[in-house]
Amino acid sequence: MFEHLEKYAGDPIFRLNGEFHQNTHPRKVNLTIGLYYDDAGCIPVLPSVRTAEQRRASKAEPRPYLPMEGLASYRDAVQRLVFGADHQALQTGRVATIQSVGGTGALKVGADLLHAAFPDSEIWISDPAWDNHHSIFRGAGVKTHTYSYYDPATKSLRFDQMLAELRVLPPKSFVLLHPCCHNPTGVDLSQEQWLELIPVLAERGLIPFMDMAYQGFGAGLDEDAFAIRAMADAGLVFLVANSFSKNLSFYGERCGGLSVVCGSAQEAQDMLGQLQAVVRRIYSSPPWHGGQITSDVLNDPALYALWVREVADMRARIAIMRRQAHEQLRAKLPDYDSSYFVKQRGMFTYTGLSMPQLLALRERHGVYIIDSGRIAIPGLNTGNINDFTDAMADVLRAG
């Protein structure tokens, strides 16, 4: 019955992460998936999360269904985190927010919602992209396209080209944007560039979808939300997906949020109903445990303050690894320009390594980087950075 179905090629990120775990190289290095590892190579259990969990574990709590839109305390906390507590869009009740099943779930609910609201609209996604952006929107029936974003020659943003392409899109087109820590390139718009882009989106009547999976990993929790807040200031109607997978180290708990910034409080109230309807027909309601713990951390002032420091520590460690990679490569291979390690931000850096070089890294050195040449920086630590830069220097020398 199902013979006509194509074989699934596997996901380029999850597949290579799996292959890494099969490899028996004694000093292998995993730079595949966007997971934060600490300096000992472990996925941290944040003390803020641990404390919240211990408090709850001491009570026998029933597990009812959450409402379709999730916990009210969680949704309020998401709004404060994403928009800033005092933002006028919140004060005027213009934002509808749900607790989502990770950042991916937020994108899926948003994609279904947009497709139902504007069945003829199509979406434009950065080139290069997190591949799943294309899959999620195609899966929701939305045709996907790309806009220019990254210039491999300069390892930086093609901003003028990007702007020129967005300027001529049909009105009501969807545009997927990363407010910070662009995946896969690590190249972001500057604040000035956002302020130039936002009027173009507004004039053209485009519908931005902001995917913020790495809030706090770029410049800071507030700084990383700059573009979202500026967009809301400018009165745009748009969507925001946010994720707690990375900044709460909560991957498997599947916690995120979807916020829709509307034109009025009434529109936001009606929008919440639409979001409930979409959720009900996909997964009915979000998970209880992760929702409660996330809400506890974000709503308890002491735990929140602790979490802010934990995020700052993760951000600082990423920056240190970027600097060390750059400095070591400069020493080992003076003719190679490795400054992109420190210019790019967030979890990822885009190396531009060729497929033969990536294969040599895997086979000769046990260094795993996905086929696009994207490195997940937190896989580096003080114990393996030297091996990594030796391996890079080796394959780069070979050409």
User: Which residues lie near ligand KET (CB under 6 A)?
Assistant: 13, 33-34, 102-104, 130, 183, 211, 213, 243, 245, 251, 256
Report the nearest approach of ligand KET to the CB of residue 93 (Å).
Answer: 27
Q: Side chain identity at 173, as an amino acid letter?
A: S
Of residues 52 and 180, the one with the C-beta less far from ligand KET:
180
Q: How far apart are CA 208 and CA 228, in angstroms?
A: 10
Q: How far apart are CA 26 and CA 46, in angstroms?
A: 28
Of residues 208 and 256, the one with the C-beta less far from ligand KET:
256
The residue whose two tokens read 């069945």 is 119
Is 246 among the residues known to form the active site?
A: yes
Where would I find the beta strands (DSSP E) of the chain? 29-30, 95-101, 123-127, 144-148, 150-151, 156-157, 174-177, 207-212, 238-243, 255-261, 348-350, 367-368, 374-376
Of residues 194 and 214, the one with the C-beta less far from ligand KET:
214
Burial 352-389 (b: 16+ CB within 10 A, else e): ebeeebbebbbeebbbbbbebbbbbbbbbbeebbebbb
Of residues 34 and 216, the one with the C-beta less far from ligand KET:
34
Q: In the chain, what is the straight-line distance between the N-terminal and C-terminal CA atoms, in Å?
A: 49
Active-site choice (155, 188, 246, 296): 246
Active-site choice (112, 188, 211, 296): 211
Report the nearest approach of ligand KET to the CB of residue 33 (Å).
Answer: 4
Q: How far apart are CA 240 and CA 321, in angstroms?
A: 29
Of residues 243 and 389, the one with the C-beta less far from ligand KET:
243
Active-site choice (112, 124, 130, 307): 130
Report the nearest approach of ligand KET to the CB of residue 251 (Å).
Answer: 6
DSSP for residue 175 = E
User: Most distant CA pair in the chain: distance in Å?
Assistant: 63
**Per-position DSSP letters for 71-116, written without gaps between them:** -HHHHHHHHHHHH-TT-HHHHTT-EEEEEEEHHHHHHHHHHHHHHH
Is 11 among the residues known to form the active site?
A: no
Of residues 244 and 340, the one with the C-beta less far from ligand KET:
244
Distances in Å between the Cα of 9 and the Cα atoms of 31, 56, 359 are 21, 41, 19
CA gyration radius, the chain: 21
Report the nearest approach of ligand KET to the CB of residue 155 (Å).
Answer: 19
Report the nearest approach of ligand KET to the CB of residue 59 (Å).
Answer: 27
Q: Tell me the residue length of the chain.
A: 399
Is 211 among the residues known to form the active site?
A: yes
Report the nearest approach of ligand KET to the CB of residue 378 (Å).
Answer: 11
> What residues act catalytically?
130, 211, 246
